[in-house]
A and B are shown apart, each in its own frame.
Chain A
Amino acid sequence: MGYPNQPHQRETPVLSRYFGDAEARSLEGWRKRGGYKALEKALGMAPADIVNVVKESGLRGRGGAGFPTGIKWSFMKPGDGKPHYLCCNADESEPGTFKDRELMRWTPHALVEGCAIGAYAIGAETAYVYIRGEFTEPLYWMEQAVKEAYAAGILGKNAMGTGKRIDVHVHKGAGAYICGEETALMNSLEGRRGNPRIKPPFPAVSGVFGMPTTINNVETLIAAAPILMNGADWYKKMSLSNPKSTGTKLFSVCGNVQRPGTYEVVMGFPFKEFLYDLCGGPPHGRKFKAVIPGGASVPIQTLEEAEATLMDYEGFVAQGSMLGSGGVIVIDDGQSMVSVIARIARFFAHESCAQCTQCREGTAWTTKIMERIRDGQGTIEDLDTLLDIAEQMTGKTICVLSDSCAVPVVSGIQKFRNEFEALIQGRRFHPVIAAVA
C-alpha cells in the first residue's frame, strides 16, 4: 500500500499489505496473518516442484535485471555434493529505491520465510541476508525475527520439525553501493573489498565461498510465499499488459511529487494514472518535467514518454527506459536537469570501486565536466566529450556501474539538450515559476 500514505483503492497490496501494522513484526502477529504456512507447505514439497511453481508463475527478479526467478533457481544442480548458498540482496542503495527497507522493517518474518523457502528450493542449508549498514531499523527487526524463528524451531537443524536444516543469518554491510552488485556482495560477505568479480564463472557454478550460490532480491524472495499459497495461475493472471511481466510490483516514489511513498500495483498499470492518481501529481503550482523510473541508473524519461508507459519490464523499455528497481524519481519544472544529472554522476564517481579504468576515470571526468556545465563554465564541445566518454564507459567493464553513470548523461543530453546549451551559452537556469493560485 501507499505507505506512509493511506492505501489507494487502485493498488493491489500483496507484499505491502501489512506496512504500518506494527503487530505484523512479531512472530505471533505474523502467524496470525497466515505467516509460515507457505514454508510449511514448501517443506512438504519436493524442491524441484517449488522451482517449477515459481517458474510457472512468471516471477522475475525484482532487484533490477528482471531475470526469471524459477530459471535462476533451476541452475542450482541438486546432488553435486557441494554446499549450496542463498544470498538475499538487501543492500538496497540505488538512488530512488526504498521498497526493501519498508518490507524488512514492517514484515521481517516475510523475508525470513522467503529465505527459508528459497534455500530449501535450491538445496541450500544456509541463507545470508546482506543488509546495508545504514539500514539500522531493518537490521534490528530482521535480527529480532531471525532470533524468534530459531527459538520457535522454524529455523535450525530441524526446521519446523521436518529434520531439514535451514539457517538464516543477517550480515551487516559497511557502506558501499557497489555491494548491491551480486559478485561484489559475495566478495564483501567473504570479508573482502567489495570489488565485483569477472563472470563467468556465474554464481550458480562458483559463488560465495566458491560454492554454488543463488542471489535474490528481498522483494523476489518475499513473493515466493504467496505464489506457493495461491498457485502459479493466480500470480500469472496479475498482468495488465505484457504476459511476460506477471504479479505485483512495489514502486517507491520520491522527488517532486505530492505523495511520495511505496505503492504496489499489478504489472502493466498505466504510469500516467499512477503518477497523477496514486501519487497525487506534482507539488502545488508545478508541472512534471521528467521521470527516472527505475533508480538512478536507468535512462531518463521525458514526461511524454512517462505518460505513455505501461508499468512492466517491457513497457518501460518501449518508452525509452527500464523498470530497474522500481525506484521512481519524479522531477518537476523547478529543477535544472543539468544539476540533477551532475549530482547523479557525482554519486557514481563516489561509489565506483575503481577496479576498472573506464569506470574510475570515466565517472570522475563525467562529474567534473557536468559540474562545470552546471556552473556556467562549460563549452559546446563538452557535450561531445561527455558522449565520447560515455561510449567508452559502456559495455567495457567488469560490472555495470560504469554504464549506469553513462546512461543518465546520454539520455539527458539527448532529451534535454536545450537545458545544457542554455547554460553553456551563458543563460542561467531559471526555474519555471508557475502562477500559484
Chain B
Amino acid sequence: MTPDLVGGLESPDYASHDRAAHDPYVPVFTGDVKRQLDELLARYPTKMATLLPALWIVQRERGWVSEEGMVEVADLLELTPAYVKGVVTFYTMYHQHPVGKYFIQVCTTSPCGICGAEDVVKAFLRHTNTGELGVTSPDGRFTVIEVECLGACGFATPVMVNEEFIESVTPEKVPDLLARLA
C-alpha cells in the first residue's frame, strides 16, 4: 500500500534507525518516494513550501531526520542545509536523533494536568523501564516524553504512541496498553 502523501495514521519506520545511523547514507527520495515529492511540489507555487512535507517523508522512511537527510532535502528544494536545519529545530515533532521503537507522548498541559496527567507519566516511566523523560529504554523499545496540549482535553489524558492517538488514558490502563505494543 502506498502511504498517504500528507501522512495520517501510518507509523514511521522507527525500527530502521540503527541502520540509517551507522551505514553510509542512502538517499530517501528515489523511486516512488521521489514521485511523491514531485506530486507535492505541484501543490505549491514555491519549492520551499514542500519543506515540511519533505521532512515528514524523511522521518516516515527513516524514523528520524538526520543531518544527511537535511542535506538531501536542501539539495532537492534548492535551499541551504543550514536553512533546513533552522526549520527542523523550530518544530518539536521532527526527531533529530533516533528514538525508541515506540515513541510515547503524554499530554500534561493544564487541562490534563488537573485531571491527573502527572500520574499517567509516572506510570509510563515505571512500566517502560525508561525511568526518565526523553531517555530510551535499554531494550530500545520505548521513549517517553511530556508533550504540550495534544488538543483532546476532554479525553484526558490523551497519549500518542507513534502515530496512534489514544484517548482517556489512566495510570491503571498503562500496563495493558504497553502489553498490546509487544
Instruction: Report whether chain A binds chain B.
Output: yes
Interface residues of A (CB under 8 A from B): 4, 83, 92-98, 101, 132-137, 139-141, 143, 167, 169-177, 188-194, 209, 252-256, 260-262, 296, 327, 329, 331, 335, 339-340, 343-344, 347, 350-351, 353
Asked if residues A191 and B149 are in contact (CB atoms below 8 Å), the reply is no
The CA-CA distance from A261 to B111 in the complex, in Å, is 13
Task: For B49, give its contact among A135, A190, A329 (CB under 8 Å).
Answer: A190
Do B153 and A97 touch across chains, with their CB atoms under 8 A apart? yes
B149 touches A172 (CB 8 A): no
Chain B, residues 135-170, CB within 8 Å of chain A (1/0): the string is 000000000000111111111100010011100000
Query: CB-CB < 8 A to B111: which residues of A?
Result: 95-96, 254-255, 329
Interface of A is mostly: mixed
Chain B contact residues, CB within 8 Å of chain A? 4-9, 43-46, 48-53, 55-56, 77, 79, 86-87, 90-94, 105, 108-111, 113-115, 147-156, 160, 163-165
Known contacts A174-B52, A177-B148, A255-B114: does B154 contact A136 (CB below 8 Å)? no
Contact B154 A191 (CB under 8 A): no
Q: Is the CB of A209 within 8 A of B46?
A: yes
Checking A92, A95, A137, A188 against B165 with a beta-carbon cut-off of 8 angstroms, the contacting residue is A137
Report the Cα distance A329→B114, complex, angstroms.
Answer: 10
Q: How many A-B residue pairs have CB under 8 A?
A: 159
Query: CA–CA, A148 to B87, complex, Å?
Result: 32
Please tell me if the beta carbons of A255 and B115 are within 8 angstroms of each other in the complex: yes
Would you give the shortest CB distance from A409 to chain B, in whole angstroms?
13
Q: How far is the CA of A98 from the CA of B48 in the complex (A)?
A: 30
A96 to B149, CA, bound (A): 8
Interface centre among B77, B93, B110 (most CB of A within 10 A): B110
The 6 closest A-B pairs by CB, nearest first: A140-B8, A191-B51, A175-B93, A175-B92, A254-B153, A174-B91
- Distance of A188 Cα from B52 Cα, bound (Å): 8
For A101, the chain B residues whose CB sits under 8 A away are 151-152
Contact between A296 and B90, CB atoms less than 8 A apart = no
Contact in complex: B87, A260 (CB < 8 Å): no
CB–CB B165/A191 < 8 A: no
Contacts of B4 in A (CB 8 A): 140, 143
Cβ-defined contact, A139 with B153, below 8 A = no
Tell me the complex Cα distance, A112–B148, Å.
28
Q: CA of A321 to CA of B153 in the docked complex: distance in angstroms? A: 20
Contact A261 B154 (CB under 8 A): yes
User: In the bound complex, do residue A255 and residue B153 qualify as a contact, i.e. CB atoms below 8 Å apart?
Assistant: yes
B45 touches A83 (CB 8 A): yes
Distance in angstroms from B82 CB to nearest chain A CB is 12
Residue of A at shortest CB range from B77?
A: A191
Which residues of the other chain, B, contact A188 by a CB distance below 8 angstroms? 52
Q: Hey, which chain B residues are within 8 Å of A133, CB to CB?
A: 56, 91, 93
A253 vs B155: C-alpha distance in the bound complex, in angstroms? 10
Chain A residues whose C-beta falls within 8 Å of the C-beta of B49 in the assembled complex:
189-191, 209
Shortest CB distance A242–B (Å): 27
